[in-house]
Structure 1
């Protein structure tokens, strides 16, 4: 029989298992391909509003859609986090965004050829809910794990996510490959996979709904603001004031600020590698879709071992040292990506990416979580999400610009070493075990 603490941690793990179906199948794999090959006509799509007409293509639309979602979360994340801390309602926010996101994901099943607007609206709402829910999911970490446990708990959370997302994606691949034997069209198989992603996300989130406990004890705000009736207006005003106070007092949080800037740079490099890997394989190596999807699936399962391995060795050598080691390994991966020429090389690259990806993501989250005040974890992870989303902008822009100028993706992938070098230098100046004072 599991103890209450074990149930609490297991429920937290299982949410990562649940929502990774959306991250892997919807964001990274199936929906982008379905959107580009089926939803948007091959001749492009025309945006019409009043007297304005803009003709565009699937790639541009998808980039705009992803960027708009990131912008919305960029604006709202710290504000939502502050409200969740004040009202002691992290779990309510988590589950609201979770079930909202899973609902809009299942509605993608109804997206057919030509349903551009409907698909964009459903994905925008689902993706916004997905990213917002992660703010509150991450905010539980300092509450469920001690400083000694936080690296391992964070690593296991990512391991559960890679395993859950990988298994769900594997089932979808089998469904799509076997669509003729089952007697359904390929597009039906893809739409069913999108539906299945939403069901998986909501279904396995039942563990979090049932066992995950709301952190309590944040009474400082009651003392400061009295026992006045807490209306929606009250929380909005207080959320805005707290967010502004945290931003304006950055001098008191200098250590966290240095880490977040370092994280912004090296995470930009990581996101760019992940986002552009498939295009790189197509552009430079002319790989087929089976190899590209297979490598993505491999990354998911290798990521399990990476998250657990790096979390374990950080206990011996220190989180900061192992995180810097991971950045040096990313430099090696970029150099290897520059020289690869075959399908086998791409598979090896996938193994290396999966190993380091899981470790660097898990340690980044736990390192940050160990430095923030637990009572204000949602607000601080709101800022973490802001830097994470802001970091998804510049790497792809640099990659695309260099690819356009030089005519090769090899120099573009090599240019990303700058992001990791800056991240390493800034990480060197971050102090471990340093918490800012509570507000």
Structure 2
């Protein structure tokens, strides 16, 4: 912070203003990380490996889903506790790019270790632990990656660049899932990796995902320059870093309270967005009876729709503002999710047509995908607009923390709804009611967001020296 300024002074400088934009090559290199991250998001945590973990081999959909939800809730607590300080220290120490690389490597290693999760109930705890710990390091990497958005964009195109990154992530998911489908799940030719003995094919998917993420995470580490070192937080101990963090939060609240309000609102709805992807493949398999190959086909189409939604949302973001995009997306998600919950897996007549349960999930599941991308992209662009110069990492650390501080909500409500429904519904039907927990979180996020006003950008919140 500028020690020469009076405490509480407002200095409306941001990384977007201070920076000069970037080359197309830097934008592509930055988006490459999003492309590679799909191997963890789409393949491991949504459509393939968590579906494997919640299969009958590990004790059944209902019980294994509850264990997975609990592990992710614990991971969320760890992220909430540590993310803002890690962002603060990487900003001050000029190590944003370094820590992006370290945390990305940790995700790749943990993903590769999932190869050792054999299809037996006693390996469930190992599997969910690796996925949960991978989520922790993935979020730490995401803090630094998201903070780079201000380095590779300008105020006029930040929405488009953010949307392009999300779109690249979804398209990367499509390519990765197609490779997984053709090599491991429904192999186009015979090879040792196609063997289903001890689920070798699915365990090799983890190795593939680790390599995919690692390779595509590298370009940003070479193309985007490191942030300058300021040194203050880097020289502080951990306890002192938290004291500085709390003083900065207090100062931001005094100078730009709606920045804090947005962090709180986005915390709630982003937890619901994360749950849509985390539990989407699990619900498709457990509730609607999709085979793994069908889950992957749905994921491919879903990622196409999500990529289109993210790109369109990015253009709309620069035209009408991020709040309008987020609000509209949340309304769309609530409508689609409620339809899936209400219609379920039965056969019924709707709009003069006969619908089967799988049709329900295909239609309204794709609507969910359409709206998730814009909400995520505009939320990131929203905060990047607010970030004071030199504090993007810390603010995105707060973004991760406020999100993860309540990240137990969707997994916990998902688990609670399943638990409550289990004795009340036929066997194997309880998982469907987990959707209700996700919809409650999305609705709460929308209601908290509505009164939030968006300032042009947050001023630098100068804090008094301790």
TM-score range normalised by the length of the shorter chain: 0.7 to 0.9
Q: Distance in 1 between matches of 2:164 and 2:24?
A: 13
Partner-residue secondary structure (3-state), 1:140: helix
- Of 324, 329, 332 in structure 1, the residue corresponding to residue 332 of structure 2 is 329
Task: Give SS of 1:257's match.
Answer: helix
Structure with higher RCO (Cα < 8 A, 6+ apart): 2
Give per-residue Cα distances to partners, 1:307-343, cap 9 Å, x unaligned: 0001112222222222211122122213322443422
Q: Report whether the alignment pairs 1:387 with 2:402.
A: yes
2:258 aligned to which of 249, 252, 255? 255
Give, in whole Å, the separation in 1 of the partners of 2:397 and 2:317: 25
Which deviates the most, 407-416 or 379-388?
407-416
Is 1:92 aligned with 2:115?
no
Q: CA deviation at 1:262?
A: 1.6
Equivalent in 182, 201, 216 of residue 191 of structure 2: 182
Q: Does 1:21 align with 2:43?
A: no
Change (3 A) 1:309 1:390: same
* Equivalence for 1:51: none
- Residues in 1 aligned to 2:416 and 2:201: alpha-carbon distance in whole angstroms: 36
* Alpha-carbon distance, 1:61 to partner: 3.7
Gaps of 5+ in 1: 45-55
Give the distance between the partners of 1:36 and 1:399, measured in 2 at CA. Answer: 14
302, 308, 311: which one pairs with 1:308?
311
Tell me, yes or no, if the aligned pair for 2:74 and 2:408 is still in contact at 8 Å: no
Counterpart among 16, 28, 41 of residue 10 in structure 1? 28
Other structure's SS at 1:262 match: helix
Partner residue of 2:205 out of 187, 193, 196: 193
- 1:62 counterpart residue number: 68
Is the contact between residue 143 and residue 400 of structure 2 (CA under 8 Å) also seen in structure 1?
Answer: yes
What's the CA shift for 1:215?
2.5
Counterparts of 2:211 and 2:384 in 1: how far apart (Å)? 30
**Partners of 1:87 and 1:317 in 2: how far apart?**
36
Contact residue 267 and residue 391 of structure 1 kept, 8 A: no
The two structures have a TM-score, normalised by structure 1, of 0.84
Map 1:102-121 → 2, pairs under 5 A: 102-113=108-119, 114-115=122-123, 119=127
What root-mean-square deviation, in Å, do the aligned CA atoms of Structure 1 and Structure 2 show?
A: 3.0
Q: Once the 2 structures are TM-superposed, how far is the Cα of residue 130 of structure 1 from its aligned partner?
A: 1.4
C-alpha deviation, 1:279, in angstroms: 4.6
Q: Does 1:435 align with 2:438?
A: no
245-254 or 314-323: which moved more? 245-254
Q: Which runs of 5 or more structure 2 residues have no equivalent in the other structure? A: 1-20, 347-355
Counterpart Cα distance in 2 of 1:280 and 1:95: 33
Partner secondary structure for residue 373 of structure 1: coil
Mean Cα displacement is larger for which, 428-437 or 133-142? Answer: 428-437
Range with bigger deviation, 131-140 or 425-434: 425-434
The 2-side partners of 1:78 and 1:372 are apart by: 14
Higher helix share: 1
Q: Which TM-score applies when normalising by structure 2? A: 0.80
Q: Report the equivalent of 1:378.
A: 393
Contact 1:376 1:438 in 2 (8 A): no
Post-superposition CA distance 1:119-174 (Å, at most 9, x none): 45544443322121111001111222122111111100001111112211221122
Identify if the C-alpha distance between structure 1 residues 166 and 315 changes in structure 2 by more than 3 Å, giving closer, same or farther.
same
Whether 1:242 aligns to 2:244 is yes
- Partner Cα distance (2:203, 2:286) in 1: 27
1:12 and 1:212 in contact (8 A); partners too: yes
CA contact (8 A) 2:88 2:394 kept: yes
Report how many residues are paired: 415
The partner residue of 1:131 within 139, 142, 146 is: 139
Match of 2:4 in 1: none
SS of 2:407 mapped into structure 1: helix
Quote how far apart the aligned CAs of 1:429 are. 2.6
